[in-house]
Structure 1
Amino acid sequence: MSDTDGKKTLGLGGGSRPGQVKQSFSHGRTKNVVVETKAKKRVVNKPGPGAKGAGGKPRLGDPSKRPAGISDAEMERRLKALQAAKAREAEETAQRAAEEKAREEERERRRAEIETKEREERERVEALRMKQEEEDRKKREAELRAQKKEETRKAVKTDAPQTPQDRAAAEAAASRAETKGVVASGPRKTDRERDRNERDARNAKSKEDNRRSGKLSLNQALSGGEGRHRSMAAMKRKQERQRQKAMGGNQRAEKQSREVRLPETILVGELANRMAERSADVVKSLMKMGMMVTANQALDADTAELVIEEFGHKAVRVSDADVEQVIDQIEDKSEDLIARPPIVAIMGHVDHGKTSLLDAIRKANVQSSEAGGITQHIGAYQVTTESGAVLSFLDTPGHAAFTSMRARGANVTDIVILVVAADDSVMPQTIEAINHAKAAKVPMIIAINKIDKHEANAQRVRTQLLQHEVVVEEMGGDVQTVEVSAKSGKGLDTLLEAIALQAEILELRANPDRSASGAVIEAKLDVGRGPVATVLVQNGTLKRGDIFVVGEQWGKVRALINDQGERVEEAGPSVPVEVLGLNGTPEAGDVLNVVETEAQAREISDYRISAAKDKRAAAGAATTLEQMMAKAKADQNVSELAVVVKADVQGSNEAIVQALEKIGNDEVRVRVIHSGVGAITESDVGLAEASGCPVIGFNVRANAPARNSANQKGVEIRYYSIIYDLVDDIKAAASGLLSAEIRENFIGYATIKEVFKVTGVGKVAGCLVTEGVARRSAGVRLLRDDVVVHEGTLKTLKRFKDEVKEVQSGQECGMAFEHYDDIRPNDVIEIFEREEIERSL
């Protein structure tokens, strides 16, 4: 379309054409979009209001084409704002370009600095290396010159010229050879050989430099040259070997032969450690023997000994029990021994006044704190008499259940005071105490107590002791007797003098300056303090912080508490103390030994636990299959009363278990499925529920979760504080499992006179009751020629035509037997009743 002539003509020039526009998105993404574009209108260069005028101001264009409501001033303001925006955009673009250029220059500068530093570092390292090589070369040349000079001198001396001229010529030749670094007598190298050697040296140096640079070119990698497989680490190792060779240290150290301690079994890795060899080498050696093993597998001692000998070491067989050799068995020297207090055990029958006597000596009141007024624990006390003598007392229970406690008390003491009541004389536990003292070979002092009673008879006590081979001084023997009264205090001074005299005779001495050892008198699990052991120190001094092992347990002394409840820092010989810091509750009677390190204590404890486990397993394995079958068959006819026992201390627990195991006979017995020390817990209740048995608590109580669990599961928990109440109740419960005894009472006899056949009933015997009474509910036996031919019950008992319950003696009646018809005249009917009688243990 053309506007030159003002006419419109048709044509293709004004149609739309395809074009592309770049569309921008966030994060710098762009996209080309195809759009349709129309041809721009050509504007004729006519002067108009929109063009710039002579003053340079922008022309505002044709007002008719301007949007409605916009004035000239507004249009001018908009044009100025558009121009300013374009100017700002141009400035920002230029500023961004300048900043990008500056950042690029900074990056180039930093890169150049880094490359410069790396180049300088490489040059410095290369300079140091070349300097070192130069020094090494000069040193080698100097050594070579000195060596060649010496060889030349020897050669000149051997072939000395006869004339002075020849000698001078030889010396001149030798000096020239020294200067050039060659032997005069050797052949000279040609220039070609020298050039080849220099070229080879340069090539070797170039390769060396390439290796040291750590860089690998593509040609080197593809050609498979030496640089491809020789790493920097390999070069360093080579240089280290050369340096050691130059210093003369390349000789291998001579292999040491060791003594390897070899237990019964050992792990492959542990064997390698003890030989100071690599585990892989030991495994390889065993594989050569045909054993496919790993480092964590165990070897027997014979195989391990073969391996040790193959590696050139010496095997020393040791036993696992050798770990206990660290416990010092010191032989004390006589000059190190000092006098120690005697350990006195008070023993005797129950209620003979042992604790009351000790209370009178200590001026205390222990007896009132014991449940039921009887001692049920071993008490350890230390008493200082008015004369200043120190005595250690052990108060043992007298009840029959505490046999092991009395035996333990006798074994750790020096003197036994046997308390016998003057009004009761010698009793069963008195005899038992005498036997314990004799077995322990401990001297006795007889304390005849309750001498102030009206019915007291001390002479009768002395006489009865003769029956048990205890001869007192009054009857020509060597056993002291003292008449005392715990209530009034009579004879106590005499008793203390007798103890002091006996202790002086025994000459009791110990070494306090050594590792402590002692015996556990009692042990318990205390809430808040953990396991607590009452220990009687026998040798050495036990101090706070000592590491010890006791039985299967070990620990570190956290605190020592004496019999007054006071904390002490140490305890010497013959001093009883409570020890805190054990990792578990030991058995009463275990021996405490102090060791040096915690590792030794752990090792000994682990060995003892393992040995006890093996012993139990061996005891079970020793039973043959026939014995197991016979025991199972015998147990089928035995009723068991199972119980779970928890006690306050180890000694009481031991006594209760022993007492309960003695209850029973061939038909019924008591089985303790679990026993322990401490409060009753949920696990005890769960075990009792699974076994369907009660839980027995002796001086302990169930905690709150255990009580709730017992209420939910219906488990009975019974508490006791007196041991004979516990034993009596368990005995009564076990008696309930006994089958009742059946006793027959004969109530009458009858003789058959005639036998009748009755329709619907069968044979009926016409009888005469000759003795007693015949009852319908009683049992009957049919005797023929005094031989029992039938035993059963009556089907009917009639008097004339009436059914009756019983028929008296001298009367006739009719009898018919249940399920039995073979009755004959002159047979005798025996009538009896059965009665069940309750049995008890």
Structure 2
Amino acid sequence: MDKKTKKKHGASRRSRFDEEDDDNWDDATERRAEERRRRKAERKAQRDLEVEAVEEASGPPKLLIPEFINLANLASALKLKPDFLLNSLLEMGFENLSPDSIFTGETAALVAMEFGYDASVDTGGERDLRVRPPPEDVSSLPQRPPVVTIMGHVDHGKTTLLDWLRKSSVAAQEHGGITQHIGAFMVKMSSGKSITFLDTPGHAAFLTMRQRGANVTDIVVLVVAADDSVKPQTLEALKHARAAQVPMIVAINKIDKPDARPDQVKADLARYGVEIEDFGGEVQVVCVSGKTGEGMEDLEENIITLSEILDVRAEPDGMAEGHILEASVKQHGKSATILIKRGTLRPGDSIVAGTAWARVRVLRNEAGVELTEAPPGTPVEVLGWRDELPAAGDEVLQAPDEDRARTAIGYRMEMRYREESSKQLAEQEQRQREKEEAERAAAEAEADDVEVDEETGTTMVNFTVKGDVVGSVEAVCATIQELGNHEVQPRILRFSAGQVSEFDIDHAATSRSTIVNFNNAIPAHVKRLAEDKGVRILDHTVIYHLSDDVRQTLSAHLSDTITHKVIGEAEILQIFPINIKGRTFRNIAGCRIRNGMITRSGSVRVLRRGEKVFDGKIDALKHGKKDVSEMRKGTECGVSFDGFEGFEVGDQIQTYEEVREKRTL
């Protein structure tokens, strides 16, 4: 073997060994890489297990939601795309949503829970002021003066009665003898016990003020004039006292008058559900005269006795709480009358009422005397309001300091702005929906709440009847079926006893029915559903009124009576061919107005020997060469008609107007 051959043989052997080493190295490398991947996967699985364990221990992820949030921001908080959240909400049953739709915190929290979050609503508890929890043992607290509200009809003597109680002349200071604002006074009775009186106005313009008086009081004294008995505002005062669940004393006033009828007043009160003592009830009745003082001692004794039975108590220490009775701007600045219910208010305290706040500068009683403190049950005038005045009826809460009061006001202003924005957006969306529905309804050929019988041509109007009992339902059905004529007839699809339900609304919307509800309360959510679905509900407690309403509903489907009223008459005396263009001529009727007037805009008909040959519009009305809008009796004019030139000399022209009259059954 020569050198060249040996060299070549050695090279090939080395190449073969190198290839074997490379193969061995590749296998080792692959095994090491596989080992690394396995260890990495094990570590990742271990970490996942640890994370799952932590999550199971800590629960679902927590989410804090503000009181109002729009859909786009909610999607961002849930780490979802707005379109995905929108579609998911539509599947859940939400309607008419857009990315700008605003949810309340409670609704948004429920949605977040559907996506696996532990959601809670930020109610501003840390920023806003809250009422203190009630004391555990009220009986251990000191007594406070009871709050007595005088209520009744206008001019029944409420202020005069109070005038006698507090031995002052307030009635004479009122404009026209009518109380114009809530007056709050603390009166020391002859027994030495103090009682706070609220004098509420009696006439209708001050309904809300009278309602507020009932909501902050402990006892209501209902004043009824012996010569006038029970009046509408007397009944309203009764309603407010019952709604507030406040005990009541009836004072029959003006018994000194010769035409006084106290027994009639008692009977009237009993008829309206007042269980007076004379008839075995619990409501005390006292006959008094605010003018002569007769019976006033008995009234005072009854008030004191009832207040002792109620045993009203409140803690004099701690943060003050109360209600705004009235607020106004006076010569000495912004003023508000507050009735303190708990705690004690002192000058220098910071208080919040609604979105207004004050650092108490001066406390005054009803006599204008400055006070150093106002304990529970005290009505007091407060000066020192900043920026704006509170609204009557607002709850008053004391803040620990001025900074805390400002923080609470800032939070409340923010909430009010959000509520207003939410309301405006909801109104805008509602208007858009109404516009779309109106356009869709306009596109439909005819009203979709009626059906025409093809054989008789009678219009059928569908009804669903609901009543309190079966007998009422039968009577209502019989009354409805008696109505109608050959043109329009009622058709009762369903009838049953019981309240109107959501199913009734859905059925009425599908069948295009009107619901007749007799002597039944309608739940609020059912009313809202009916409004949303455009279902009309005829709600009555008197069957005659119900019959009238159904008759009107049927009458709405009767065709109008159409009559023609002739406005003017003219006779064609001559025909003039007028050159329009080139060899194009047009006939003009030369006329004389015989009666009334011929108007350019009115409808016109041409009669020939009593028969109508044309009915349409006037194209042009001329006096000479001048265009005119009308021509009156005795004048001559030229008339051309829209699309008609076949008139002849001697034809009669009449202009008329169409009169439509609504028909009723």
Normalised to the residue count of structure 1, the TM-score between the two structures is 0.41
Partner residue, 2:378: 575
Q: Indicate whether 1:443 and 2:238 are aligned.
A: no
Partner residue, 1:669: none
The Cα shift of 1:544 comes to 2.5
The Cα shift of 1:581 comes to 2.3
1:613 and 1:829, CA in 2 relative to 1: closer, same or farther beyond 3 A?
A: closer
Selected match of 2:344 from 517, 531, 541 = 541
Contact 2:320 / 2:344 at 8 angstroms: preserved in 1? yes
Question: Counterparts of 1:598 and 1:343 in 2: how far apart (Å)?
Answer: 30
Paired amino acid for 1:486:
G
Selected match of 1:490 from 277, 294, 302 = 294
Q: Indicate whether 1:762 and 2:589 are aligned.
A: yes
The Cα shift of 1:535 comes to 0.7
Selected match of 1:611 from 407, 415, 439 = 415
Question: Counterparts of 1:819 and 1:485 in 2: how far apart (Å)?
Answer: 84
Question: Counterparts of 2:271 and 2:305 in 1: how far apart (Å)?
Answer: 26
Partner residue, 1:329: 133
Q: Which has the higher contact order (CA 8 A, sep 6+)?
A: 2
Structure 1 residue matching 2:392: 3-state secondary structure: coil
1:384 and 1:826, CA in 2 relative to 1: closer, same or farther beyond 3 A?
A: same
Question: Counterparts of 2:325 and 2:611 in 1: how far apart (Å)?
Answer: 69
Question: Counterparts of 2:156 and 2:292 in 1: how far apart (Å)?
Answer: 15
1:580 and 1:756, CA in 2 relative to 1: closer, same or farther beyond 3 A?
A: closer
The Cα shift of 1:539 comes to 1.4
Name the one with the larger helix percent. 1
Structure exhibiting the larger radius of gyration computed from Cα positions: 1
Partner residue, 1:797: 633
1:339-391 deviations in Å (ceiling 9; x for gaps): 22211111122222222221222222222222232212111011112222321
Partner residue, 2:182: 378
1:751 and 1:776, CA in 2 relative to 1: closer, same or farther beyond 3 A?
A: closer
Contact 2:363 / 2:380 at 8 angstroms: preserved in 1? yes
Alignment of 1:337-736 (within 5 A): 337-529=141-333, 531-583=334-386, 584-625=388-429, 627-628=431-432
1:311-366 deviations in Å (ceiling 9; x for gaps): xxxxx997532334675335253463122221111112222222222122222222
Paired amino acid for 2:377:
S
1:238-272 deviations in Å (ceiling 9; x for gaps): xxxxxxxxxxxxxxxxxxxxxxx99769xxxxxxx
The Cα shift of 1:437 comes to 0.9
Paired amino acid for 2:375:
G
Contact 2:598 / 2:631 at 8 angstroms: preserved in 1? no
Paired amino acid for 1:345:
T
The Cα shift of 1:455 comes to 3.1
1:52-89 deviations in Å (ceiling 9; x for gaps): xxxxxxxxxxxxxxxxxxxxxxxxxxxxxxxxxxxxxx
Contact 2:149 / 2:213 at 8 angstroms: preserved in 1? yes
Contact 2:337 / 2:382 at 8 angstroms: preserved in 1? yes
Question: Counterparts of 1:331 and 1:396 in 2: how far apart (Å)?
Answer: 30
The Cα shift of 1:467 comes to 4.2
Question: Counterparts of 2:637 and 2:233 in 1: how far apart (Å)?
Answer: 63
1:636-690 deviations in Å (ceiling 9; x for gaps): xxxxxxxxxxxxxxxxxxxxxxxxxxxxxxxxxxxxxxxxxxxxxxxxxxxxxxx
Q: How many residues align?
A: 390
Partner residue, 2:583: none
Alignment of 1:162-201 (within 5 A): none
The Cα shift of 1:789 comes to 5.5
1:756 and 1:553, CA in 2 relative to 1: closer, same or farther beyond 3 A?
A: closer
1:326 and 1:548, CA in 2 relative to 1: closer, same or farther beyond 3 A?
A: same
The Cα shift of 1:795 comes to 2.3
Question: Counterparts of 2:253 and 2:301 in 1: how far apart (Å)?
Answer: 16
Unaligned 5+ runs, structure 1:
1-260, 266-315, 635-745, 768-773, 804-813, 834-841
Partner residue, 1:687: none
1:633 and 1:818, CA in 2 relative to 1: closer, same or farther beyond 3 A?
A: farther
Structure 2 residue matching 1:340: 3-state secondary structure: coil
Normalised to the residue count of structure 2, the TM-score between the two structures is 0.51
Structure 1 residue matching 2:198: 3-state secondary structure: strand
Paired amino acid for 2:573:
K
Question: Counterparts of 1:421 and 1:501 in 2: how far apart (Å)?
Answer: 24
Alignment of 1:62-461 (within 5 A): 320-324=124-128, 328-331=132-135, 333-334=137-138, 336-461=140-265
1:549-575 deviations in Å (ceiling 9; x for gaps): 222233332221011110111111111
1:830 and 1:451, CA in 2 relative to 1: closer, same or farther beyond 3 A?
A: farther
Contact 1:561 / 1:577 at 8 angstroms: preserved in 2? yes
Paired amino acid for 2:350:
I
The Cα shift of 1:765 comes to 7.6
Partner residue, 2:524: none
Contact 1:794 / 1:815 at 8 angstroms: preserved in 2? no
Question: Counterparts of 2:240 and 2:203 in 1: how far apart (Å)?
Answer: 15
Structure 1 residue matching 2:633: 3-state secondary structure: strand
Identity level (%):
39
The Cα shift of 1:827 comes to 8.6
Unaligned 5+ runs, structure 2:
1-61, 67-119, 439-562, 577-587, 619-628, 660-665
Paired amino acid for 1:340:
R
Paired amino acid for 1:370:
E
Paired amino acid for 2:633:
L
The Cα shift of 1:436 comes to 1.0
The Cα shift of 1:534 comes to 0.6
